[in-house]
Amino acid sequence: MFMRHRYNSCVEILLEHLSHELHEVKESALCCLMKFAAGEGQHPLEDLDWSEHYSFPRELIQAVVPVYQSNVFTLMSNISVPSQQSELTNFMVKQEAKHKDWKAAKLNEHKRVFERMWLGFLKHKLPSNMYKKVLVILHDSILPHMSKPTLMIDFLTAAYEVGGAISLLALNGLFVLIHQHNLDYPDFYKKLYNLLDPSIFHVKYRARFFHLANLFLSSSHLPVYLVAAFAKRLARLALTAPPTALLIVLPFIYNLIRRHPSCRVLLHKPSTEDEPLEDPYLMDEEDPAQCCALESSLWEIKTLQKHHHPDVAKAAMLINTPLPEKEDDISEVLEITTYELMERDLKQKQIKSIPLEFETATQLLKGGGGDVLAQHFCLD
């Protein structure tokens, strides 16, 4: 067991050296790892079923391959395609008079090759961190340069079904395909609804998600039950969200209600004192059409009126008055961090002098009224 741990540690160090700045170190590490792989093939580390008649060191080889996937991705992501035909002037070869007839002189041919390159790369199984890297640049660095961007439908829909951060990142590409290439995704809003969970307020892609969600929910033709479901789910999640997220969520909900006046019933739900205090909204229901949001109310925002942060409490108080027709611009608060919020609060607040029954200590060791230690010890 001791030797196995030492061997595993050695493999981890060699894998790290595959990214070393010196080429000689990279080459030596790779050669050593491949010798280890051959050794594992001859002398398996685990008891195997020998019905296959061979033993292949899958885990070790898989650990080596992602390093080269990362290198390939770095190379591919730096390849740029000209946006105009007129930009294709330098071919790095001797040009003939009729070079316009070359495939290399045609922008569409460049786009086809670029497209085949990415489709060939993405057909392989990628680790989650590589998925994220691709999805981050897909909407602005890949899709615009493809001859048929719709060929990415399968990749994006599969990524959207994965869940978590990968689903959030897939939204950018799906937005391009839905709005620019008429992609039909029947369960898109149901999946978007289910992406709303407590983690959405803590991922580093939070700003991107709310920006895109705002765009997807901007249509006035969406059914009322769907908009009400999003507003109610966000309000419920707001009860445990950090202040920076609440400053996004509350204006977001207000904008939804402005766009869909039928959702105002969530704000002014008639009630009586004898009515049981039960919320008909079903938080665990995955289908927004079945969650009973319209039968509920946004009582959660009323609760936030007593929030410890004054900006949040102030934003929650707006529910008591008729909402103005103009939508709130949430772009200003999408990127705000806790540090920035605290810095802003410190600059806005002025320290007031409050009368005390004792003299405030300002020093520890020097004489004077503020000398804390001198009050208890003789420091001559």
Chain centre distance of CA 281: 27
pLDDT at 182 over 70: yes
Residues in the chain: 380
Identify whether the C-beta of residue 281 lies closer than 8 Å to the C-beta of residue 291.
yes
pLDDT level of residue 269 (50, 70, 90 thresholds):
low
Chain centroid to CA 2: 41
CB within 8 Å of 131: residues ≥ 6 apart: 159, 162, 166, 169
Amino acid at 300: E
For 347-358, what is each residue's pLDDT tens digit? 766 666 667 777
* pLDDT band at residue 96 under the 50/70/90 scheme: low
pLDDT digits (tens, 9 = 90+) for 334-346: 877 777 777 777 7
The mean pLDDT value for 279-286 works out to: 93
Which amino acid, residue 180?
Q
Give the CA distances from residue 72 to residues 19, 79, 118, 145, 165, in Å, rounded to whole numbers and listed in that order.
13, 11, 11, 18, 23
Instruction: Give the separation between CA 299 and CA 235, rounded to whole angstroms.
Output: 8
pLDDT at 249 over 60: yes
Q: Which of 156, 256, 176, 179 is nearest to 210 (CA)?
A: 256
What confidence tier does 230 reach under pLDDT thresholds 50, 70, 90? Answer: very high
- The mean pLDDT of the chain is 83
CA distance 143 to 141: 6
Residue whose C-alpha is closest to residue 81's, from 45, 108, 50, 120: 108
pLDDT at 156 over 60: yes
> For 91-111, what is the mean pLDDT?
72
pLDDT of amino acid 358: 72
Burial label, 231 (beta-carbon count in 10 A; 0-12, 13-18, 19+): buried
Higher per-residue pLDDT: 7 or 338: 7
Q: Is the pLDDT of residue 376 over 80?
A: no
Residue 265: burial class (beta carbons within 10 Å; 0-12, 13-18, 19+):
middle
Beta carbons of 232 and 298 less than 8 angstroms apart: yes
32-73 confidence digits (pLDDT tens) = 999 998 888 888 777 655 555 556 788 888 888 887 888 889
Smallest CA-to-CA distance from 149 within 178, 120, 170, 124 is with 178
User: Is the C-alpha dihedral spanning 130, 136, 142, 143 positive or negative?
Assistant: positive
CB atoms closer than 10 angstroms to residue 92: 6
Residue that is written with structure tokens 């700045």 in the block: 21
Token readout for 248 is 């996004």
Q: pLDDT value at position 273?
A: 46
Tell me: pLDDT of 163 over 70: yes
pLDDT at 211 over 70: yes
Q: Phi and psi of 53, rounded to 5°? A: 70, 10
Angle at 45 between CA 41 and CA 47, to 5 degrees: 100
Q: Is it the case that residue 272 has pLDDT exceeding 50?
A: no
Q: What is the mean pLDDT of residues 159-167?
A: 86
Kindly list the domain boundaries of the chain, sorted by start residue. Answer: 1-45+56-79
Confidence of residue 226 (pLDDT cuts 50, 70, 90): very high
Which distant-in-sequence residues (6+ apart) come within 8 Å of 332 by Cβ? none
Please compute the mean of the pLDDT values over residues 222-231 and round it to a whole number.
94
- The pTM score is 0.69
Percent of the chain with pLDDT strictly greater than 70: 84
Q: State whether the Cα torsion 277-278-281-283 is positive or negative.
A: positive
Beta strands in the chain (DSSP E): none
Contact yes or no for 299/279 (Cβ under 8 A): yes
Instruction: Kindly report the number of other CB atoms within 10 A of residue 357's CB atom.
Output: 4
For residues 2 and 104, the model is more confident at 2
pLDDT at 144 over 50: yes
Q: Output the CA torsion sign for 197, 201, 203, 206.
A: positive
pLDDT at 286: 93
Statement: residue 208 has pLDDT above 50: yes
